[in-house]
Amino acid sequence: MKNCTLCQERIADKLNSHIIPKFMCKRLFENSNPRHSIQLSKDGKQFKLQDVPKENNIFCKQCENRFEKLETYFSRVLIEINSLQNAVRKYEIELTDNQDVLSCNDITPSLFHLFFYSLLWRASISKHILFDTFKIGTEVQEELRIFLNENLFDTQKDLLLNAKTITKIPIYHTCFIKPKNNTRGIFSAYNFAPNAYAIYTVDYALFFYTKEDDCMPAHKLYGNISNEIIKVVLANDENWKVLNNSVVKNMLDYQTPR
């Protein structure tokens, strides 16, 4: 059995590791009978997706536990972001160039980057067919692995305390978008241009750029790059529809470099 992909020290003995956290895929199978959702293949074809993507023997149990501590925290954060009712943390909606943007004032930026990068990195290292068109370059992938391995902890208390002292965060443009009215989207992950990557999880769209020059201007304006207040774009129904409809076109127009 091979070693854990994250720590590279312990045996990868964990079964059924989620590539994307289960709580981010809760609505994949909403109102579907029989239970399924739609996944887009790398050539733009649709096929049924009947379970959240999982993989065996890529992590050790200890590293899986470290991911779970991070995910538990952000499952609560995203519940707040989705409703903004009875929120423990402070949020503020601002209008920027006719776009509603949610400022997450009480979320430690380094902690957010840990979570965001954990999603990107796991999708990139996955051998699951659903992530066949999502591959980050080797050097960036290793940079993210080291950042995650150094800053994920066995307890949530240690995770939160350490996040406040992190000073070296891999600097890349990212953008986190959710529908303003919780309108469902699709599930997909792919490279949509050189140095540009996207993950759609039905309720969210995540964008990541490894070269600043390739980052879309809007994603620079509304996105996150450093230890500043974290922003979440709130897309209206029409913009969310356009965003999701663009996936098929982008996947047909661009093929992942091999």
For the stretch 96-136, pLDDT in tens is 888 999 999 999 999 999 999 999 999 999 998 888 889 99
Neighbours of 99 (CB within 10 A): 15
Q: Which residue has the tokens 């999701």?
A: 244
Helix/strand/coil for 11: strand
> What is the per-residue pLDDT across 49-66, written as a single tens digit (0 to 9) for each?
556 778 999 999 999 999
Helix/strand/coil for 217: helix
- Prediction pTM value: 0.88
Which positions ≥6 away from 100 have C-beta within 8 Å?
93, 94, 180, 233, 234, 236
Q: What is the pLDDT of residue 127?
A: 92
Structure token digits, residue 164: 């406040």
**Higher-confidence position of 256 and 27:** 27
Q: Which residue has the tokens 């922003």?
A: 231
245 pLDDT above the threshold of 90: no
Q: What is the pLDDT of residue 248?
A: 61
CA distances 128 to 6, 19, 64, Å, are 17, 9, 17
| Averaged pLDDT, 220-238 | 91
| Averaged pLDDT, 191-206 | 91
